[in-house]
Amino acid sequence: MNSMTLRSVLVSCLLVSVLRSGMAEEVHYDVFVTSSGTSLVIGGYDDVNTVAVIPEGQVRVFGGHVVGSGTTGPYESEAPGEPGFRASTQATLNNPALTTPANTYTALSGSTALTFTFEPMSIDSQARNLFFWDGAGAVAFAPVASSVSLGLQKQGGGGWLASINGGSAGVISGNTIQATGPTGSVHTHLFTLIDDAGAAPGQGFYLYSLRMHMNGYESSDPLYFVFGALDPLNLAPQFADLAAFEAAHGLAEGWVESNLVAVPEPSTVVLAALGFAAAVGARSCRRRGAGSR
């Protein structure tokens, strides 16, 4: 068993233990991309229960983890990779058991590239592509050193790596996430990597923003990603345990929802949860492998 596989097993077991100890597990959402006919629309896809949720305010905040061990970087998301991306056929969009709301949105064009750009954010008059909060005290995202980089990687044939760093502050070209299938579907995952000039990054929460693009559509609203970076076997002192880390992660996502999303009330996170509950009813949730949100 190689070190990365062992690391993945260890963090999964530890995080599952935290969730089973009584901490509520959030629904994990991949980025779900559909259209209003002229514009890209973003919802969340629960890939445990195979339900897409598209609340009125859309879903704009997504979470994830990168995991490391020791003092070397990068910290990486675990297989199959985070963030994930989904788009569905018209039949799925019209099926009330699979999409909430149904019969509302239009499938993406077939055989067309779904791409992204990194977008700058402004917090306390500081414009950057990448912000960081160490998880101590009140949520306070701030610029991070320019030596810290965050990359999104597509693995396999035709793979690529697109990166930002603590010093970048503009619209930065990404790459093609995936071309849609003939009926407009997408299902793929990217890997997130964070490091500090080859060393381990600071443990805490990294914030970045993407915008989705596709020929023939107006681009999506900005999406925000809050990735927790942790060494589960050697947590930073500000985290008493993994439950404390996850609690801080939730606070960080809530802060982004309230402070950066254009229409913070009603919370799209709450709407997504309500939509999920309405869609799946009393169906029992199969627990996904930990290390994802």
The sign of the CA dihedral 141, 74, 115, 33 is: negative
pTM of the predicted model as reported, rounded to 2 decimal places: 0.84
Beta bridge partners of 63: 226
Which residue ranges make up each domain of the chain? 3-112+178-207+218-280
pLDDT-derived band at 240, boundaries 50, 70, 90: very high
Judged against a pLDDT cut of 70, whether residue 180 lies above it is answered with yes
Asked if residues 190 and 82 have their Cβ atoms less than 8 Å apart, the reply is yes
Average pLDDT over residues 7-12: 39
Q: What pLDDT digit, counting tens, does each position of 145-162 carry?
A: 999 999 999 998 889 999
- In whole angstroms, what is the distance from residue 134 CA to residue 238 CA? 8
Q: Who wins on pLDDT, 17 or 162?
A: 162
3-state DSSP call for residue 254? helix
Q: Taking the CB of residue 100, how many other CB atoms lie within 10 A of it?
A: 21
Q: Which pLDDT value is given to residue 27?
A: 55
Q: Which pLDDT value is given to residue 158?
A: 86
Q: Which of 226, 236, 234 is nearest to 258 (CA)?
A: 226
- In whole angstroms, what is the distance from residue 221 CA to residue 60 CA? 8
- The end-to-end CA distance of the chain, in Å, is 25
Q: How far is CA 91 from the centre of its chain?
A: 26
Q: What pLDDT digit, counting tens, does each position of 72-127 carry?
A: 989 999 999 999 999 999 999 999 999 999 999 999 999 999 999 999 999 999 99
Q: Which pLDDT value is given to residue 173?
A: 97
Q: Which pLDDT value is given to residue 262?
A: 60
Beta bridge partners of 119: 209
Distances in whole angstroms, Cα of residue 212 to Cα of each of 101, 113, 175, 193? 21, 10, 10, 20
